[in-house]
Structure 1
Amino acid sequence: MPQLDTSTWLMMIMSMFLTLFIVFQLKISKHYFYHNPQLIAIKLSKQNTPWETKWTKTYLPLSLPQ
């Protein structure tokens, strides 16, 4: 049975890592990142709901008169 030649594996793995690194660097370099992000003040408007304008009371089933 022939033996598996593993002498070139190191070179293949190293070249694969180098290629992946170059490909990822090229992909990342095509993105535009903002240099100085500014916070935008968001104006929140309060919405009035019908149940906020009147007083309601919640009764538990055990607290009802018997």
Structure 2
Amino acid sequence: MPQLDTSTWFITILSTIITLFVLMQLKISTINFPLSPSIKSTELVKTDNPWESKWTKIYSPLLLLPQ
């Protein structure tokens, strides 16, 4: 039974890692990041909903007994 030749594994793995690193660097370098990020306001904005201005009550059909 022949033995597995592992003498080239080191250079194969090393070249794969280097290639992946270079590809990732090229991919990341094409991304345009904003130069100065703008500060967003953290204040809550109150929205007026029509149902907040009037009082409403929801009746359950089971509570509406004939009188």
Fold conserved (TM > 0.5)?
yes
Q: Describe the superposition over 1:3-46 as per-residue Cα deviations: whole angstroms up to 9, x where unpaired.
A: 0001110110010000000001011111111121012448x461
Aligned length: 63
Q: Which runs of 4+ in 1 moved over 6 A?
A: none
Gaps of 5+ in 2: none
Which TM-score applies when normalising by structure 1?
A: 0.68
Distance 1:45 1:55, change over 3 A: closer
Q: Percent identity?
A: 52
Q: Distance in 2 between matches of 1:17 and 1:47?
A: 57
Gaps of 5+ in 1: none
Give 1:38's aligned residue.
38
Which TM-score applies when normalising by structure 2?
A: 0.67
Give 2:28's aligned residue.
28
* Letter of the 1:47 counterpart: D
* Letter of the 1:7 counterpart: S
Provide the aligned C-alpha RMSD in A: 2.7
CA apart distance, 1:47: 2.9
- In terms of fraction of residues, the more helix-rich structure is 1
